[in-house]
């Protein structure tokens, strides 16, 4: 159970790191394409990371209940 939870947290963290790095690059690169990348790719990765983190919290409770 812990291994599954930790894997999800790691994946959420990796998604967030990549999303934040995309955001940082876009903030330095002041072009219209950077705006689209920030909103599209950075936003998607960030939201995916946060959702996965929240899901890992909810699923941890489910896994505890199953035990």
Partner 1 sequence: MHFPPMLLISLIIVTALLISVFVARPAVTATRGGKILAFVVLFLLPLLCMAMGFTSELERSKSTSFCLSCHIMESHGRSLYVDDPSFLAAAHFQNHRVPADQACYTCHTNYAMFGGFRAKMHGLKHVYVQYLGTPPAPEAIKLYDPYNNRECLHCHEGARSFEEGAVHTADPELLPAVKANKMSCLSSGCHQVVHNVGELGKVKFWKGAQ
Residues at the site binding partner 1, with contacts judged by CB under 8 A: 2, 5-6, 9-10, 12-14, 16-17, 19-21, 23-24, 26-28, 30-36, 38-39, 42-43, 46-47, 49-50, 53-54
- Angle, helix 43-66 to helix 2-28, in steps of 10 degrees: 170
Q: How far is the CB of 61 from partner 1 (least distance, A)?
A: 12
Does residue 31 sit in helix, strand or coil?
A: coil
Q: How far is the CB of 35 from partner 1 (least distance, A)?
A: 5
Cα–Cα distance for residue pair 3/44, rounded to 1 Å: 26
């Amino acid at each position: 159970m812990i291994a599954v939870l930790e894997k999800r947290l790691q994946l959420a963290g990796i998604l967030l790191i990549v999303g934040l790095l995309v955001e940082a690059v876009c903030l330095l690169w002041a072009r219209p394409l950077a705006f689209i990348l920030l909103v599209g790719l950075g936003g998607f990765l960030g939201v995916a990371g946060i959702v996965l983190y929240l899901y890992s919290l909810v699923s941890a409770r489910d896994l505890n209940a199953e035990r």
